[in-house]
Amino acid sequence: MSAITHFFEIFTGSIDVFLDGLWITIKLSVVSLLIAFIIGLFFAILKISNIKILQWIADAYIWIVRGTPLIVQIFILFYGLTDILLIPMFWAGAAGLAFHSGAYIAEIIRGAIQSIDKGQREAGRSLGMSRGLTMRRIILPQAFRRAVPSLGNQFIIGIKDSSLVSFIGMQDLFGVASTMGSNSFDYLPYYLTVAIYYLLIVLILTYVVNLTEKKLARSD
């Protein structure tokens, strides 16, 4: 049997199992990225505030995330949370991924906000809007438009990073590939299979991001 035939048989014969792992990967990625977006927006606001202590808190969070590997953060949060609370593995993994991605999203949003001309803030204040209302109605909508390409790239990175939750026992796409490979002692075909699934996910998300960019450009 040729290597190509062998790979094709494994690919077609393991679709059901990989679809289960795909569902976990998608669900985990969506949940963690939504939480990460909220975290990122929160710390971006802290970082651009005029209160030094809030800026220091945001800087410390971003520095810790950037200075330590994601797998270490996942392990610390997983074992730390499960020692304190009886938290499901899914939510522990989502928390670890969100904690990591949130720091990068914070910097993306912070950069997008600061790229908006200061005159627009002054215009909002001259209309009687408070600082918070000006931010919410004038600055943030424009900042999000500018941040779409960078946020899209971060979301793609977040989906690929989700494969690391297999190291805490989750049966996501990579976890399924590792388990099936260890059961048969034939790792390569399963790892090639999981690579195809990730490529398809990234291809679809890239298309969605590009389509969103074009729609926003037309509306501008």
Mean pLDDT, rounded, of the chain: 88
Residue linked to tokens 């005029």 = 50
Distance in angstroms between the alpha carbons of the first and the last residue of the chain: 57
Write out pLDDT tens, residues 83-122: 777 778 898 899 999 999 999 999 999 999 888 877 777 7
For the chain, the maximum distance between any two Cα atoms, rounded to a whole number of angstroms, is: 76
| Structural domain boundaries, residue 125 | 3-219
pLDDT of 200 > 80? The answer is yes
Specify the number of domains making up the chain. 1
pLDDT at 220: 58
pLDDT at 202: 94
Q: Give the whole-angstrom CA distance, residue 125 versus residue 143.
A: 18
| pTM tops 0.75, yes or no | yes
Phi, psi of 69 (to 5 degrees): -65, 150
Residue linked to tokens 């998608």 = 26
In this structure, of 24-28, 40-44, 155-159, 214-218, the range with the lowest mean pLDDT score is 214-218
pLDDT at 219: 63
Q: What number of other Cβ atoms are within 10 A of residue 128's Cβ?
A: 8
Any idea what the CATH number is for the domain that residue 7 is in?
Answer: 1.10.3720.10
CA distances from 209 to 34, 152, 187, 190, 206 (A): 16, 6, 33, 29, 5
Write out pLDDT tens, residues 133-151: 777 777 888 888 888 889 9
Write out pLDDT tens, residues 31-77: 999 999 999 999 999 998 888 999 999 999 999 999 999 999 998 88
